[in-house]
Amino acid sequence: MYVDDEPDILDLGKLFLEREGEFSVTITSSARDGLETLSGTAFDAVISDYQMPDMDGLEFLKEVRSRYGNLPFILFTGRGREEVVIEAINLGVDFTSRKAGIQSPSLPS
């Protein structure tokens, strides 16, 4: 499952992850929707953005760990978020990556 509040990033991430046919990716646009989806379906892993409204990626990670144990969890963060990465590691994240490398490119003016 891939969770991000940016629809374009969700669609792009899903296309990228499914391009070889090895993965089937379910997308949700909020951590709360992600928790609801997790309650009814088994997943092999969770990929989540950090900065989202209502519930950020760290709060989501805490909930996933408390409800689903060691379900693999990957967290995307923004630049200059070292404190977020440290907290995520302390909460048991499996992997972190800077989201800056996957954001949509700017169009020339």
**pLDDT, tens digit (0-9, with 9 covering 90-100), for 43-82:** 999 999 999 999 999 999 999 999 999 999 999 987 667 8
- CATH value of 2-101 in 3.40.718.10, 3.30.420.10, 3.40.710.10, 3.40.50.2300: 3.40.50.2300
Query: 103 φ, ψ to 5°?
Result: -65, 155
- Cα–Cα distance for residue pair 96/109, rounded to 1 Å: 33
Helices within the chain (DSSP H only): 7-18, 31-40, 57-68, 82-91
Interval 75-94 mean pLDDT: 87
Task: Look at residue 38 and tell me whether its pLDDT is greater than 90.
Answer: yes
Mean of per-residue pLDDT scores for the chain: 89
Judged by DSSP in three states, 21 sits in coil
More confident: 75 or 104: 75
Look up residue 101 and give its two tokens. Answer: 């490398």
Q: Are 68 and 34 in contact (CB under 8 A)?
A: no
Q: Point out the least confidently predicted range of 8-17, 23-32, 77-86, 88-97.
A: 77-86
Q: Give the other-Cβ count within 10 Å of 45's Cβ.
A: 14
- Say which residues have a Cβ less than 8 Å from residue 11's Cβ, sequence separation at least 6: 27
pTM for this model (two decimals): 0.86
More confident: 79 or 6: 6
- Cα–Cα distance for residue pair 67/82, rounded to 1 Å: 26
